[in-house]
């Protein structure tokens, strides 16, 4: 099955470099990587160009860029999917690195009716800077990261361990799904056909946050389901200063869309990858 990885990014070229490096070290390589760039400056453009050259024997990297007019992640991700050639889509963010078996875990648990949802480990500021300076793309739990957890500088340590045993997963409730919150954009995947069947990301959402959960809700409304890959497909989020610009009005606007989806059991959005009147 041909797999397309979609990486959403905006103006964090050092983080993006490590993200792409971690994908290149995966046990199962993607067929292609598409950088969904929401209008980054020249430094990111140069970084992507350099990685395209250095990794041309590993996988093709396609740079899909739009001009920056505020946060329009949904729009550029839809465009990246439109230009993708894979049968299966894995989504992550450019400020994250992936475990070396992350993509493999998504593919092993894939189902034409399902969107797969994982979680992320939060790497602390000091350790992130060390990784960025050294060019180290963390792709599994190591001693250094474990010590950072114990010092309470990195967080969500419980998400860093691979747990494959079915009984243990059930006991620890790793298969538990909350339809309204389980899907996050840095660690989710689904068949491209399913993405197209629900018309992709809804570009009506303002800013970011609820647009990923909305995908999961609409998959369920379409007759599908959310499948957990927590502690199977692991993603590491690299620290950066907060850029959360979501106002109360945006939160209310997005929450109203999500509420309508649930109440009306809407599966298809009008302002998605295809535009409907």
Joined tokens for residue 41: 């400056």
Q: Let me know: does 63 contact 160? Beta carbons within 8 Å.
A: no
Mean pLDDT of 249-272: 92
Q: How confident is the model at residue 243 (pLDDT cuts 50, 70, 90)?
A: low
How many other C-beta atoms are found inside a 10 Å radius of the C-beta of residue 113? 13
pTM of the prediction?
A: 0.96
Alpha carbon distance 268, 196 (integer Å) = 9
End-to-end CA distance of the chain: 34
- Residue 209 scores a pLDDT above 80: no
- Residue 249 scores a pLDDT above 90: no
Comparing 144-148, 176-180, 246-250, the range with the smallest average pLDDT is: 246-250
| For the chain, percent of residues with pLDDT exceeding 90 | 88
Alpha carbon distance 191, 270 (integer Å) = 20
**Residues 6+ positions from 92 with CB-CB distance below 8 Å:** 5, 6, 7, 8, 19, 98, 185, 186, 187, 235
Structural domains in the chain? 3-264 (3.90.550.10)
Alpha carbon distance 50, 56 (integer Å) = 10
Cα angle at 54 between 49 and 59, to 5 degrees? Answer: 90
Alpha carbon distance 129, 1 (integer Å) = 36
**pLDDT tens-digit readout, 18-49:** 999 999 999 999 999 999 999 999 999 999 99
Joined tokens for residue 24: 């290149």
Torsion sign over Cα 12, 13, 17, 23: positive
């Amino acid at each position: 099955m041909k797999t397309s990885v979609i990486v959403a990014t905006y103006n964090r070229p050092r983080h993006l470099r490590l993200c792409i490096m971690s994908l290149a070290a995966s046990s199962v390589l993607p067929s292609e990587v598409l950088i969904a760039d929401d209008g980054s400056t020249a430094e990111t453009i140069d970084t992507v160009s350099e990685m395209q050259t250095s990794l041309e024997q590993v996988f093709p990297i396609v740079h899909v860029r739009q001009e920056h007019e505020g946060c329009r992640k949904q729009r550029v991700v839809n465009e990246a999917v439109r230009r993708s050639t894979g049968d299966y889509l894995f989504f992550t963010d450019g400020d994250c690195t992936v475990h070396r078996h992350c993509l493999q875990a998504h593919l092993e648990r894939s189902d034409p009716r399902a969107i797969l949802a994982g979680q992320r480990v939060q790497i602390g500021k000091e350790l992130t800077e060390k990784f960025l300076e050294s060019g180290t793309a963390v792709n599994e739990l190591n001693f250094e990261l474990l010590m950072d957890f114990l010092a309470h500088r990195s967080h969500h340590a419980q998400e860093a361990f691979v747990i494959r045993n079915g009984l243990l997963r059930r006991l620890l409730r790793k298969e538990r799904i909350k339809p309204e919150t389980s899907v996050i954009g840095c660690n989710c995947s689904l068949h491209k056909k399913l993405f197209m069947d629900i018309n992709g990301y809804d570009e009506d959402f303002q800013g970011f946050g609820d647009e990923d959960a909305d995908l999961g809700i609409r998959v369920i409304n379409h007759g599908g389901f959310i499948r957990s890959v927590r502690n199977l497909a692991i993603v590491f989020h690299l620290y950066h200063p907060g850029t959360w610009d979501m106002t109360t009005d945006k939160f209310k606007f997005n929450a109203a869309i999500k509420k309508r989806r649930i109440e009306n059991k809407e599966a298809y959005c009008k302002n998605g990858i295809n535009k409907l009147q």
